[in-house]
Amino acid sequence: MSKNILVISEIRDGQFRNVTFEAIAAAKEISAGGEVTGVVLGESVTETANTLFHYGVDRVLKVESEKLAQYTPEGYTQALQAVVEKEDPDGIILGHTSIGRDVAPKLAARIGFGLVSDAISLEITGEEVIFTRPIYSGKAFEKMVVKDGLIFATIRPNNIAALEKNDTLTGKVESVDVDIKDLQTIIKEVVKNTASGVDLSEASVIVAGGRGMKGAENFKILDELAEVLGGAVGASRGACDAEYCDYALQIGQTGKVVTPDLYIAVGISGAIQHVAGMSNSKVIVAINKDPEAEIFQIADYGIVGDLFDVVPKLTEEFKKV
Ligand code: FAD
């Protein structure tokens, strides 16, 4: 039976995040020919909202309010609850980003449904939707079956392929009026502290440095390699604790969970808490001077050597490609 699915979009710097397009692809599959509706929240979003049609949605709903200019759990939950109550969908899909992780459980509690969080794939069997999600820091996978009721899930970025963009697909953005009550939290300024312009959680290439980098100034060689590869720089907690870089770059159990196409671990030993955040990367390359380092056990390719020799050489070689 076909289903109507809402996709809650996420905008950063005036553009949809990739995970929104991945959520649309997941919603299309679940909808089985039903209607997929993108929901866009913000202060003034019409122009951006128009572009969502290119990624395969059938309808686009926008909720505009100065109270939605920045993400706040209160504002977003109120707006989304109103949209869900109006639309009465069969399913809701959104990204497992810091916003998704925050707002989805709140919304689930408000509307009285369960939530499948952090799904990395899905399959449909008859009327059932089966989501797969990593558990125990990625050491095992669990299948969660939604048999009936609302299909509500967050999906991990970089795991479900987005549909190909089609600029000829267009439509008319519909407006939903929501009376958002005064917010307890006001965001006055957003300070960005990622080194490169590439968002770590959505980057297809990550070059991550550990305590082996020996100093903040040495992260420059990682910036150079990441730039040549069009990637982002990440770090182990060892590097963050040593004040080589900001905690915003930390990958692992208590940092960001990433699944890039290519993860290059530089001077990182491979502690279980680090591996929890990156072990699902498609290809892992480890550079470490210790041949016994744990990281080599999960690496697809290992380079035993001094990172200060290896990394600049890699950068030079990639520049030639
Ligand atoms: P180290 O373990 O010190 O490894 C440095 C590596 O660099 C070594 O393997 C060494 O051989 C290599 N090296 C040194 N010099 C060179 C060189 N010149 N060339 C090549 N290689 C070199 N850690 C995380 O990363 N993320 C988390 O989210 C996280 N959460 C945690 C949560 C808890 C509750 C706890 C207890 C710990 C957590 N940790 C986390 C910390 C984790 O246990 C490790 O301490 C940390 O990952 C180690 O960082 P590292 O690999 O950079 O440093």
pLDDT tens by residue, 187-224? 888 877 655 567 788 899 999 999 999 999 999 999 99
Whether the CB of 308 sits within 6 Å of ligand 1:
yes
Q: How far does residue 4's CA lie from ligand 1's centre (Å)?
A: 46
267 lines ligand 1 (CB under 6 A): yes
Q: Please give the pLDDT value at position 193.
A: 62
Three-point CA angle 296, 156, 29, nearest 5°: 125
With 0-12 CB in 10 A as exposed, 13-18 as middle and 19+ as buried, what is 304? Answer: middle
Q: Is the CB of 48 under 6 A from ligand 1?
A: no
If DSSP codes are grouped into helix, strand and coil, which group holds residue 131? strand
Pairs from 75-80 (Cβ < 8 Å, separation ≥ 24):
75/180, 75/183, 76/41, 76/103, 77/103, 77/106, 77/107, 77/110, 78/178, 78/180, 78/181, 79/41, 79/178, 79/180, 80/8, 80/39, 80/41, 80/107
Q: Amino acid identity of 135? A: I
At residue 186, the pLDDT reads 87
Q: Which of 40, 53, 45 is nearest to 165 (CA)?
A: 53
- Which DSSP string corresponds to 209-278? E-GGG-SGGGHHHHHHHHHHHT-EEEE-HHHHHTTSS-GGGBBSTTSB----SEEEEES----HHHHTTT
Question: Does the Cβ of 253 fall within 6 Å of ligand 1?
Answer: yes
Q: Is the CB of 241 under 6 A from ligand 1?
A: no
Q: Output the CA 119–ligand 1 centroid distance in Å.
A: 27
Which residue from 266, 139, 159 is spatially nearest to 208, judged by alpha carbons?
266
* CB neighbourhood size of 263 (10 A): 28
Task: Give the Å distance between the CA of 198 and the centre of ligand 1.
Answer: 23
> Can you tell me which atom of ligand 1 is nearest the CA of 236?
25
Whether the CB of 210 sits within 6 Å of ligand 1: yes
pLDDT value for 197: 62
Q: Dihedral of CA 198/202/205/207: which sign? A: positive
**Ligand 1 mean position, distance from CA 282 (Å):** 21
What is the residue with the minimal CA distance to atom 44 of ligand 1?
Answer: 271
Residue 138 in contact with ligand 1 by CB distance below 6 A: no
Give me the pLDDT at residue 196, please: 55
Does residue 3 sit in helix, strand or coil? coil
CA of 212 to the centre of ligand 1 (A): 8
218 lines ligand 1 (CB under 6 A): no
> Which helix (H) or strand (E) covers residue 134, if one does?
strand 128-135
Residue 68 tokens, joined: 């939605």
* Ligand 1 geometric centre to CA of 254 (Å): 13
Backbone angles phi, psi at 158, to 5 degrees: 75, 20
d(CA 19, CA 226): 21
Distance CA 93, CA 288 (A): 40
Report whether residue 237 contacts ligand 1, using a CB cutoff of 6 Å.
Answer: yes
Pairing of strands 11-12, 5-8: unpaired
Q: Is the CB of 238 inside a 6 Å radius of any atom of ligand 1?
A: yes
Tokens coding 289 = 């001077």
Type and span of the H or E element at 91: strand 91-95
Residue with the nearest Cα to atom 37 of ligand 1? Answer: 273
Q: Count CB neighbours of 175 within 10 A.
A: 11
Residues of the chain with pLDDT under 70: 193-197
pLDDT at site 202: 86
Q: Which atom of ligand 1 is nearest to the CA of 293?
A: 9
Q: What whole-number distance in Å separates Cα of residue 249 and Cα of residue 24? A: 28
Own/partner contacts of 285-289, CB < 8 Å, gap of 24 or more, are 287/311, 288/212, 289/212
Residue 236 beta carbon below 6 angstroms from any ligand 1 atom: yes
Phi/psi of residue 224, nearest 5 degrees:
-65, -45
